[in-house]
Amino acid sequence: MSALLATGLLVSTVCTSAAQTSEPKNRFAKPIAGPVFLGPIVSPGQKVPDSDGVETSKRPADLAFGAYQRGYFLTALELALPRADSGDPAAQTLIAQLYWNGLGVARDRRKATDWYKFAADGGGRAAQFAYANILLQGKILKPNTEQGEVYMRKAADAGHPRAQFNVAQIITARRPTWASFKEALPLYESAAEAGIADAQYALANIHAEAKGVAFGDDNKARQWLKLSAQGGFDSAQVDYGIWLANGRGGEKDIVEARQWFIKAATQGNLVAQNRLARIYAFGAGVEADAILGSAWHIISRRGGFSDTELDRFFQSLKEIDKKRSIEAANQLSRRLRSVN
């Protein structure tokens, strides 16, 4: 048996509040039962999709959006206003973004909300998504779950990928049954195929645990898990690393698994930090390094992740090595803060 298996690194899931060194039920680190709404506003410098999903720079109002993309926000506002007054939802959405972010104008999120509603009622799917989030989150307007869901569903029906993910989450959170996952499956699939990492992670969960599908499929689950990890989703990076280390759903690759743990750990994922601690402490796929292993353990423990076996490992070190581990942890923490 390898050191990796012997030390309990390869559990299929983990809890961020306590260590699990015994084999738990096969579940993911981040369940998909509850709705986690993806943010409403597109930032400057990103392409802004209009209600039809065509880049706004290809529409007649491209001068306004071109000015927006180049940072000429007052010019963008001047060019967008006539089209917005004539009922163009894309121009109305642009104005809403300018006021929301305080670009070229004083930040006024109440005024931005009004413009989002104009655009949403005019069929702008990006505005429908934004206005739905505003209603659901209740930070600008009084929370209105019913109306928020109406606008979110309109955006999803119009093909907005993040809205599709949110509606799928609403469905499965309301009734976390097999039938509900089956109902939500097309929405998850559409969002995942559009590159939404959260949806890709959800699909991995669905196929791994046979939620809404006829049978579990580890191979398909691993493919979606990989895509989600590549999209930067830290929970997926951790789980994909665990699957690689276990050889679940495909070939076993401990070396690549470590690379995914490193990616997630640098994002501050406590589970990944703990897994790296175990890899280095017990020499799983690499030469054992008690100092580096202890350093990662100290970092994850500072974040609230408990692992009694690594506690004992650290306490078994010589005093000089304990001090070296603490200093290494401090250096790693400074690097992580500079990255994040």
With respect to residue 161, please indicate whether it lies within any of the assigned structural domains: yes
Residue with tokens 């423990």: 301
What mean pLDDT comes out for the span 227-244?
95
Q: Are residues 270 and 123 in the same domain?
A: no
Cβ proximity of 289 and 280 under 8 Å: yes
Q: Provide, rounded to the nearest whole percent, the portion of the chain with pLDDT above 90.
A: 73
What pLDDT shows up at residue 110? 94
Q: Are residues 118 and 251 in the same domain?
A: no
Q: The domain spanning residue 253 has which CATH number?
A: 1.25.40.10
Among the listed residues 262, 197, 269, the one whose alpha carbon sits nearest the alpha carbon of residue 205: 197
With respect to residue 64, please indicate whether it lies within any of the assigned structural domains: yes
- State the DSSP string of 155-182: HHHTT-HHHHHHHHHHHHHH--SHHHHH
Q: Are residues 107 and 148 in the same domain?
A: yes
With respect to residue 200, please indicate whether it lies within any of the assigned structural domains: yes
What pLDDT shows up at residue 339? 75
Residue 47 scores a pLDDT above 60: no
Q: How confident is the model at residue 328 (pLDDT cuts 50, 70, 90)?
A: very high
67: which 2 tokens?
């000015």
- Any idea which of 4-18, 73-87, 218-232 has the lowest mean pLDDT? 4-18
3-state secondary structure of 252: coil
With respect to residue 9, please indicate whether it lies within any of the assigned structural domains: yes
Q: Are residues 104 and 231 in the same domain?
A: no
Q: Which of 167, 197, 224 is the last residue of a domain?
A: 167
Q: What is the pLDDT of residues 185-200, one digit of tens each?
A: 999 999 999 999 999 9
Q: Are residues 190 and 113 in the same domain?
A: no
302: which 2 tokens?
């500072």
Domain count, the chain: 2
pTM, whole model, 2 decimals? 0.80
As a whole number of angstroms, the distance between CA 13 and CA 140 comes to 37
Q: Are residues 288 and 311 in the same domain?
A: yes
As a whole number of angstroms, the distance between CA 78 and CA 89 comes to 16
Q: How confident is the model at residue 324 (pLDDT cuts 50, 70, 90)?
A: very high
Q: How confident is the model at residue 340 (pLDDT cuts 50, 70, 90)?
A: low
With respect to residue 44, please indicate whether it lies within any of the assigned structural domains: no
Cβ proximity of 47 and 187 under 8 Å: no
Residue 18 bridge partners (DSSP): 15
As a whole number of angstroms, the distance between CA 141 and CA 129 comes to 15
132: which 2 tokens?
């739905």
Q: Are residues 79 and 102 in the same domain?
A: yes
With respect to residue 39, please indicate whether it lies within any of the assigned structural domains: no
Q: Are residues 182 and 159 in the same domain?
A: no
With the CA atoms of 314, 316, 317 and 322 taken in that order, what torsion angle do they form, in degrees rounded to the nearest 10? Answer: 40
As a whole number of angstroms, the distance between CA 77 and CA 89 comes to 14
Q: Which of 167, 195, 210 is the last residue of a domain?
A: 167
Q: Provide, rounded to the nearest whole percent, the portion of the chain with pLDDT above 70.
A: 82
Q: How confident is the model at residue 207 (pLDDT cuts 50, 70, 90)?
A: very high
With respect to residue 46, please indicate whether it lies within any of the assigned structural domains: no
What pLDDT shows up at residue 61? 53
- Any idea which of 135-149, 175-189, 201-215, 267-281 has the lowest mean pLDDT? 135-149
Long-range Cβ contacts of 13-16 (<8 Å, 24+ apart): 13/239, 13/242, 14/238, 14/271, 14/274, 16/270, 16/271, 16/304, 16/305
Q: What is the pLDDT of residues 134-168, one digit of tens each?
A: 999 888 888 899 999 999 999 999 999 999 999 99
Q: Are residues 304 and 208 in the same domain?
A: yes
What mean pLDDT comes out for the span 105-113?
94
Q: How confident is the model at residue 38 (pLDDT cuts 50, 70, 90)?
A: low
Q: Which residues contact 136 (CB under 8 A, 6 or more apart)?
A: 37, 143, 144, 145, 148, 149, 152
Which structural domain range is residue 76 located in? 56-167
As a whole number of angstroms, the distance between CA 208 and CA 215 comes to 9
Residue scoring higher pLDDT (38 or 312): 312
With respect to residue 49, please indicate whether it lies within any of the assigned structural domains: no
Q: Are residues 280 and 299 in the same domain?
A: yes
Residue 31 amino acid letter: P
Q: Are residues 15 and 131 in the same domain?
A: no
Residue 34 scores a pLDDT above 80: no
Q: Which of 149, 167, 185 is the last residue of a domain?
A: 167
Q: Are residues 273 and 194 in the same domain?
A: yes
Alpha helices in the chain (DSSP H): 3-6, 62-70, 73-85, 89-101, 109-121, 125-137, 145-157, 161-174, 178-193, 197-209, 218-230, 234-246, 254-266, 270-282, 290-302, 308-315, 319-339
3-state secondary structure of 140: coil
